[in-house]
Amino acid sequence: MKKNIKKIPYFVTALTIWFLATAGTCIAAEKVYSDKMVSVRASLLYDNEQDTPLTGIVTHTSDKGLLQKKTAYKDGKKNGVEQRFHSNGAVASETHYKVGKQDGFSRIYNFAGILLWEIPFKDGEKHGIAKKHNQSGTLVNEIPFQKGQIEGVEKSYYPSGVVKEEITYKNNEMNGLRKYYSEAGELEKEILYKDDMPITPEK
């Protein structure tokens, strides 16, 4: 039993070294291209030198040499993270792709690096709860999406975090109650909507 216990740390160490070496090789193999080294053909991005669909990172810079965009590709299609940058070098947006389609969270930031929008995508369509923040990073809105359409209850908030308004959507239109709340969280009024039109008078 004692012999087995002594061998385990060596096995774990060897496995760790192998993993790090393999990961390092993969990272090093990822080639970086400028936008002048590539071209689009039949909706795929090609490596001009190899004349094959591109796998690697493509960068776009301004006339002054400032990095504007950096995109990951695999077999000629966007696959991984695309980043855009403000003129001060801060990340302006991050968009995740899978085989050419947006898949995962897309995030937008201001010059100070504060998150303004967080939008979930699945298979190229908005899907999940999108969140909007103000310039200070405070949550302003939550919008529910299903397969690209607003579906469910959209919420807006006071700066305190208390719900300000709730709107029920179905098939991308207001269908159901629209509720208004005070900063104390008390319901002030509600209006029933159908196909984006109010069917009960506003009080």
Q: Using one digit for the tens of pLDDT, what is the confidence trace for 146-181?
A: 999 999 999 999 999 999 999 999 999 999 999 999
Q: Alpha-carbon dihedral of residues 175, 177, 179, 185, nearest 10 degrees?
A: -120
- What is the arithmetic mean of pLDDT over 100-115? 98
Which pair of structure tokens corresponds to residue 2?
Answer: 């004692």
Given this model, what pLDDT does residue 30 score? Answer: 78
Rounded Cα gap, residues 130 and 127, in angstroms: 8
Phi, psi of 32 (to 5 degrees): -110, 130
Residue of 203 and 25 predicted with greater confidence: 203
Residue 72: partners with Cβ closer than 8 Å, 6 or more residues away: 56, 57, 78, 79, 80, 81, 82, 97
CA 177 to CA 131: how far, in whole Å?
Answer: 21
Average pLDDT of the segment spanning 13-17: 48
Mean pLDDT value across residues 124-148: 98
Q: Is the pLDDT of residue 23 over 50?
A: no
Question: Is a pLDDT exceeding 60 seen at residue 22?
Answer: no
CA distance 151 to 128: 9
Q: pLDDT tens, 91-107? A: 999 999 999 999 999 99
Q: What is the pLDDT of residue 200?
A: 76
β-bridge partners, 101: 98
pLDDT tens, 40-83? Answer: 999 999 999 999 999 999 999 999 999 999 999 999 999 999 99
Amino acid (one-letter) located at 50 = Q
**Residue 29: band (very low, low, confident or very high) from pLDDT cuts 50, 70, 90:** low
Q: What is the pLDDT of residue 6?
A: 47
Closest CA to 71 of 35, 116, 112: 35
Residue range 16-34: mean pLDDT, rounded: 58
Six-digit token string for 165 = 């308004």
Tell me the average pLDDT of the chain.
89
Domain spanning 2-198: which CATH class is it, in words?
alpha beta
- The tokens of 51 are what? 């004349």
Token pair of 55 as six digits? 């796998």
**Which of the pair, 80 or 2, is modelled with greater confidence?**
80
In three-state secondary structure terms, 111 is coil
Task: Delimit the domains of the chain by residue range.
Answer: 2-198
